[in-house]
Amino acid sequence: MRKILLTSAIALSSLALLAGCSSSTDTDPEFTDSGSASGPYSINDCAALAGPVISETAPAGIAIDGLVIGEDAVPSIAVGPESAPAVDLISNELSPGNGASVAVGDTITVNYCGVGQITGALFDSSWARGEPATFQLLPGALIEGWTQGVPGMQIGERRLLEIPGSLGYGVNPPGGIEVDETLIFVIELVSIG
C-alpha cells in the first residue's frame, strides 16, 4: 500500500510539473551559463547591425524556447538548434518595470532588437542605431504582434516577443526577413506619452 501511495504521489508531482511547462507564456525562464548547451547558436549583438556569430555553445543569459537572451544593458539574442517557429504570439517578461502600463493608442518610446527565427540573423535594432524609437501603438500602424504583445508593459520593463509570421509580415516581408518567418524581439519600454 505504501509503495502504491508513493508511486501515486510521484505521478501526481510529475503531472503538475508537466502542466506547468505547457503554457505559452513562460513565467519562470531559466538562466543558462555559457557552454551549458550545445549548438550551433546564431548569436546577435543588439548593439551592432552585423551578421550573427555562430557558436557551438550557448552564451550566458535567459533561456526560453531554444533562445538565449543576454542580460547586459544592451541585450543579445541567440537562436539555438531547438528554437521552433511560433504558432501563436508568445510573450515573456525578461525584467520588470514599474509605473503606468502601455495601452493600445499610446505613444511609446522603446529600444528594441529584432531577429528572424529561420535565418537566426538580426534585421533591426534601435540600440545599434544609438537612439530609441517613438511611435503610436495602433493596429495597422505596426505589425499585429506588437499591438497585441506590447500592451501591459511598464516603463523599464524588458520583454521577449516571439511573433508568428501571421502576426508579423506574412507573405510580404521587407528585405532581410523570410516569408512567414517568426520574428523574435527584445523590447525595452523607455517612456509612455
Q: Measured between alpha carbons, how far is 188 from 79 in angstroms, rounded to an integer?
A: 19
User: Does 51 or 8 have the greater pLDDT score?
Assistant: 51
The domain spans of the chain are 30-192
The pLDDT tens digits for 43-92 are 999 999 888 999 999 999 999 999 999 999 999 999 999 999 999 999 99
Q: Are 155 and 97 in contact (CB under 8 A)?
A: yes
Q: Measured between alpha carbons, how far is 188 from 64 in angstroms, rounded to an integer?
A: 17
Highest CATH level, class, for 30-192:
alpha beta
Kindly state the helix (H) or strand (E) to which residue 192 belongs, with its residue range: strand 183-192
Q: Concatenated DSSP letters for 62-108?
A: EEETTEEE--SSS-EEEE-TT----SS-EEEEEE--EEEE--TT-EE
The pLDDT tens digits for 152-170 are 999 999 999 999 999 999 9
Q: How confident is the model at residue 38 (pLDDT cuts 50, 70, 90)?
A: confident
To which residue does cell 547591425 refer? 49
SS3 label, residue 117: coil
SS3 label, residue 37: coil
Instruction: State the DSSP code for 150.
Output: S
pLDDT at 136 over 80: yes
pLDDT at 18 over 80: no
Per-residue pLDDT at 106:
97
Per-residue pLDDT at 101:
96
Long-range contact pairs involving 49-57 (C-beta distance under 8 Å, separation at least 24): 49/122, 49/124, 49/125, 49/128, 49/129, 50/122, 51/121, 51/122, 52/79, 52/120, 52/121, 52/122
The pLDDT tens digits for 89-129 are 999 999 999 989 999 999 999 999 999 999 999 999 999 99
